[in-house]
Structure formats: C-alpha cells, structure tokens
Amino acid sequence: MTERDEIEDLVERVQGGDPAALGALYDRFADRVYRFSLFRVGNHADAEDLTQRTFLKMIEALPRYQRRGIPFEAWLFRLARNATIDLLRGRRSHEPLESAAELRSAAPEPEAVVEQAAELAAAARAMEQLTDEQREVIGYRFAAGLTPREIGLLMGKREGTVRGLQFRALNAMRRFIRAEDEPRTSHEG
C-alpha cells in the first residue's frame, strides 16, 4: 500500500466514525500543520489555535471530502490556509519568521543554537523581500513539506508556476543574503 493509499484509507475510516483513525491522521499531519501555522503567524499560541481550528474544520468538512484527484494533504492545507487568512485579516499580512527566531533564541542556549538563530534571523530578513506569493510558496514547500504539485493544487496554480515562484524566491533570497554579507566580509578582510 502506498503512502497515498494509507492516507486515503485513514480518511475513509474517519468518515466512517473511527476515532483511532482520526488519531492516526492527526499524528501524521499535526506537526506540519503546526509548523505551517507558526511560519505564518510567528507565535506558538496562535499556531496552536490555528492547528485546532484546522482539524475541527476538517472534522466538519470531511463528510464532503472526496478524493477526485486532489490529495488529502492539499485539501487539509487549504483548510489551514483559510484559517490563517481569517486570523491574519486585519493584522499585518505576515508576522515575520523573525518572531520564531526570537522565540528560539530567547532562552540562554548553547552557542551553536544562538548562531543558528542569527542565521534564521538573516533568512527572515531575506524572506521579507519576497512577494506574498513567493513567501507562501516557501512556507508550503519548506515549512509544511508539500510538493510543488500539491502547492499548485492548493493555490490554484500550475506546478510549473509554483516551481517558477520557488526559483525566483530562492534567487531573491540568495541575492539579499549575499548583499548583506558583502560589506561585512570586505570590512573583515
């Protein structure tokens, strides 16, 4: 049985009223939904809230879910995306990832971790340069672990368009990080 079949089997069992299957489905996706939510909102309390909303909405909508060529992951992350949009409406469109970096570096931690947080803050600054669509693709791809095809289904775009957005986003980030590094390097040198 492929992974996709296993997931669809769990979905069918949840539709049939099997709590153990729901537990298994939750354990399979909760981590990624949480990461995606945290990426978008930048704080754990809202990420928890969004994860809960997404799964409660999933319970509500699951009776109407049909495979129809749309992978369950894409369907589930569409719910997560909608929950995030509802929450962020009226707030800043994107709570920077830097918040997450601060969260991780707030407690006194080993040097390596602090260094990692600094790198992350640099990545967050680079991400601020991206368009909303590019940032969304980066979130789905690297925070939620979706494939370009799934992202395309989720965003209503072709797979090639998603790859293009990812390519341009990475390019823009690389240019920004290099530009930030250069003055420091030349100063040090």
Answer for the pair 101, 125: CB distance below 8 angstroms, yes or no: no
CB of 189 to another protein, least distance (A): 22
Rounded CA separation 84/89 (Å): 8
Residue 180 in the binding site for another protein (CB under 8 A): no
CB of 149 to another protein, least distance (A): 16
Q: Which is nearer to another protein, 6 or 31 (CB)?
A: 31
Instruction: Out of 7, 10, 22, 154, name the contact with another protein by CB under 8 A.
Output: 22
Residue 84 in the binding site for another protein (CB under 8 A): no
Q: Select the span of 32-40, 76-84, 149-157, 181-189 touching another protein (CB under 8 A).
A: 32-40
Instruction: Spell out, one character per residue from 49 to 68, where the chain touches another protein: x when CB under 8 A holds, - when not.
Output: x-xx--xxx-xx--------
Residue 45 in the binding site for another protein (CB under 8 A): yes
- Residue whose pair of structure tokens reads 């569409």 in the numeric block: 78
Residue 175 in the binding site for another protein (CB under 8 A): no
The DSSP string of the chain is --HHHHHHHHHHHHHTT-HHHHHHHHHHHHHHHHHHHHHHH-SHHHHHHHHHHHHHHHHHHGGG---TT--HHHHHHHHHHHHHHHHHTTS-S---HHHHHHHHHSS---HHHHHHHHHHHHHHHHHTTS-HHHHHHHIIIIIS---HHHHHHHHT--HHHHHHHHHHHHHHHHHHHHHHHHHHHHHH-
Residue 23 in the binding site for another protein (CB under 8 A): yes
Tell me how crowded residue 113 is: count the other CB atoms within 10 A of its CB. Answer: 13
Residue 176 in the binding site for another protein (CB under 8 A): no
Instruction: Spell out, one character per residue from 96 to 125, where the chain touches another protein: x when CB under 8 A holds, - when not.
Output: -x--xx-xx-----------xx-xx--x--
Residues that bind another protein in the complex, under the rule CB under 8 A: 14, 17, 19, 22-23, 26-27, 30-31, 34-35, 38-39, 44-49, 51-52, 55-57, 59-60, 89-91, 97, 100-101, 103-104, 116-117, 119-120, 123, 138, 142-143, 167, 170-171, 173-174
